[in-house]
Structure 1
Amino acid sequence: MWNKLPQMVVLKSPGGSTWEVQLVRDNNNTLFFKDGWKEFAKAHNLKENDLLMFKYTRDSCFKVWVLSGRNLCEVAGSYFVKKSALEKNGAGENSQLKRKNTMVGSAMATGNKDNSELEDSDTERASARASRRKNRRNSTVLRNSGAEEKNRSTDDTLDRVPPSEADKERALQMANRNLTVESFIVVLKDSNVSQYYRLGIPAPWSRTYLTRKHQDMKLRANGKNWTVRFNAEPRYGGGVFISGWSNFAVDNLLQEFDVCLFKLVSQKDEPVIFDVSIYRAVPEAAHLPSYKTP
């Protein structure tokens, strides 16, 4: 696959902004980002020792997640970087990539099929989101490691429009206003609310307030309780919500870019208890209320 990568690729940040970056290969057959990388790094305020995760999603497109080098937690600000010139000009994959999409180390020109797959218009993105939400509506959520299955209908989510950058920023600011030393914030991404249903807890916070062991925890929101399984990660000091988190996410109609504030209520009793406040990225959707704990 790596031998077929073109000279120009697209890097997509968690918030959906895109950058066109040149991909070059040295004499040792090692790939590097060149032209355009400086702009990407500056927009995301990258620092030495930061960790970047790249997911190759299709021809010429990489999704990129930014983790802080200090604690290996995802950098929330990467969801709110400014729109790239690629998007502002309405060019992107449809223009410069088509002109420069010459294979690295090969004289073969890329076919029309490759170019067409690069098209990622607003209409297609909205359609993809609606399709994912529709699939989730018809899917089966597994409870307690597959012991119990329950179909859930989330018809309301089909009407939800994608949030604007201002909506995302507002939700994060509202959560930050209620942040205390005994609470932490998570900006939800797609993997938190679909497919794998996992939620990571920031390592510095976890090291300070939680016992480093696998355990059940209780989440409270909107007057209801959910039990989730917490898997500790001793190497980094953090942990992940696994089984049970999908029930919380589906029951509360959580969506990508919503912001959750977890407030520690009790760490002495078993299980550990969190009150969860939910700040919707699209609050005008009346059927998706924001929940704020007292």
Structure 2
Amino acid sequence: MNQTIIKRFMRDRIFFLLLAPALLYYILFRYVPMFGIIVSFKDYNLFKGIWASEWVGLKYYRMFLANPDAYVIVKNTVLLGIYRLLFGFPAPIILALLFNEMRFKTYKRFVQSVSYMPYFLSTVVVSSFIITLLSPSTGWINGFIQSLGFEPINFLQKPEWFRTIYISSDIWQSTGFGTIIYLAALASVDPYLYEAAEIDGAGRWNKMVHVTLPSLVPAMVIIFILQIGSVLELAFDKAFLLGNPATFETSDIISTYVYRMGILQGSFSYATAIHLAMGIVAFLFVYSTNRIARRVGETSLW
């Protein structure tokens, strides 16, 4: 048995070598830090260390539930996550379908390349661009508003605009790159299916509805399950850079709150408890969605 494993390893050593950086990343930055979970059950003191700190059980979990800010923070996080799923999930599917219908290959490749570019910009660059674009004094959008005879709007100081700005910028940044998986799925569709549909009298719209879309369903289900797990795991950097005290009623989410509690105020146990609780909820979301997908159809993560 051991010799068989060794032979397989030697045969596929190149693939294992390619996989090694990813495995090393997850081991060092995902699995090893899980040891810190124990901090959420202790009254952690930096000078005493983890083991010498006093056990307090579920004290910090109850503290968060009793915190009047908890409802606002969780509501903001859930709403942003749901909006991102509602508007961001179908966006790459629609764009991939449009790319698939393009007949001029040179133009198609150019548009694809342009749509991928925002994904490779750092969140700091994107946030700076948004701040400059929406500036009430020098921003292009307010310049256009003023040219119409209206007063400029300080978008980043108004809570009601934060979710729109966050979601729209996220869609702009990630939609192009998100089409890669769907385009790969479309590349595996048997062209004879389109020919058969054309013989049956189907036009471009019917071929897309009855051939193209069903071919995307397995990829759509897998990506939807994965995105369900990230509903509560919103990016800290964009919310931190675009949010401010004036918009906290809509911009303050779990990750920014954990940052303030853990890093700025030094409440490591409290911050760990909040983050762990949200991680458990996210796992339950993924597990439940996967079970539903497995019962309804044949595609699931496990």
Could you say which TM-score interval applies, normalised by the shorter chain? under 0.3
- More helix, by proportion: 2
- More strand, by proportion: 1
TM-score (norm 2): 0.23
Q: Whose RCO is larger (CA < 8 A, sep 6+)?
A: 2
TM-score (norm 1): 0.23
